[in-house]
Amino acid sequence: MTRYIAAYDTEMLGDCLRACRKIRAVHERFEIPATFFIVGAMLEKEGPAYRSVLGDCELFEIASHTYSHQMLRDHPFCGPAPAQAERQREIRLGKQRVEETFGRPCVGLRPGCGFANGLRGDTWLQDEIHAAGFGYVSSRLWGPEYSLPALLEAPYSYAAEGSPELWEMPGHGWHENVLKAHNLTTSIQRLLAWPMPDPDLVPPGPLRSAGEEFELNRRFIDKAVKMDLPYISLVWHPWSLAKFDPPMRMLELTFQYVRDRGLEPTTYQAEWERMKNG
Ligand SMILES: [Zn+2]
């Protein structure tokens, strides 16, 4: 049975922290675990506040969203990657900030923006991430040719490229901020693949309500279950969720659906442990 992972790319000063307070309350009410991928530089300013909002809740895994959201690979929409030394700093310092803030190991990394093929073809990056002490990376976040939605892909290890101990745990679906036109540098029309891999997973236009967002989430969850995927995890951002839906109604509807369908909720870390232990 497919498991469900709630996950948040936590990256904006102030707005994400305020949103996380509301998000935590919904998670506690439904007893749903979550993974928060957090930008390290943000913790230099808001570390104590994050520790009090997320740190003492045993439902939550805290992982890294790099040090300052710089690209780890060249990205067609988000920009080019900096020099190797800078990328190494993004990987290592991001992990260090999470660990010193929360006082526990950080085993997962979600690179800023993510990539269509994850880390495939970049063995330097795979080695760096593994050498820094990460066990998994959630970097496959786009569909073919950097289209959206990201397809429903299962996790895999980078064994074929020489890093058997590094796992890819893909994220699925739309980056919800894009569907709400919250990032206006990229139009939605530019992001669709042709031919469309699955028209059922493409809404007719920007989302207008929490109910519409839930309906789309439901289609992804249903399809993942039908495919017998190990897990389903949508790409969410606290700042964008709060801007679109201040009462976090979409989270309530989605978590209620996860409960009604009987999906086991989990975290990326727990799912990675299941994968590597076979
Ligand atoms: Zn991000």
Question: Average pLDDT for residues 249-253, to the nearest whole number?
Answer: 98
With cut-offs at 50, 70 and 90, classify the pLDDT of residue 156: very high
Find out whether 120 and 150 touch, Cβ atoms under 8 Å: no
Q: Would you state the structure tokens that stand for residue 33, as one six-digit string?
A: 């675990």
CA separation for the pair 136, 21 (Å, rounded): 27
Percent of the chain with pLDDT over 90: 91
Closest CA to 185 of 78, 66, 90: 78
User: Is a pLDDT exceeding 80 seen at residue 181?
Assistant: no
- Between 123 and 204, the higher pLDDT residue: 123
Question: Average pLDDT for residues 73-85, to the nearest whole number?
Answer: 95
Bond before 195 cis per omega within 30 degrees: yes
Cα–ligand 1 centroid distance for 99 (angstroms): 19
Q: Is 125 exposed, middle or buried (0-12, 13-18, 19+ CB in 10 A)?
A: buried
Cα 58-59-60 angle, rounded to 5 deg: 90
Q: Positive or negative CA dihedral for 273, 266, 119, 20?
A: negative
Cα–ligand 1 centroid distance for 260 (angstroms): 30
Q: 């989302």: which residue's tokens?
A: 207
State the pLDDT at residue 184. Answer: 56
Cα–ligand 1 centroid distance for 25 (angstroms): 23
Cα–ligand 1 centroid distance for 9 (angstroms): 5
The helix/strand/coil state of 77 is coil
Cα–ligand 1 centroid distance for 109 (angstroms): 11
Question: Average pLDDT for residues 252-258, to the nearest whole number?
Answer: 98
Find out whether 21 and 244 touch, Cβ atoms under 8 Å: no
CA atoms within a 13 Å half-sphere pointing along the CA-CB vector of 155: 27
State the pLDDT at residue 182. Answer: 73
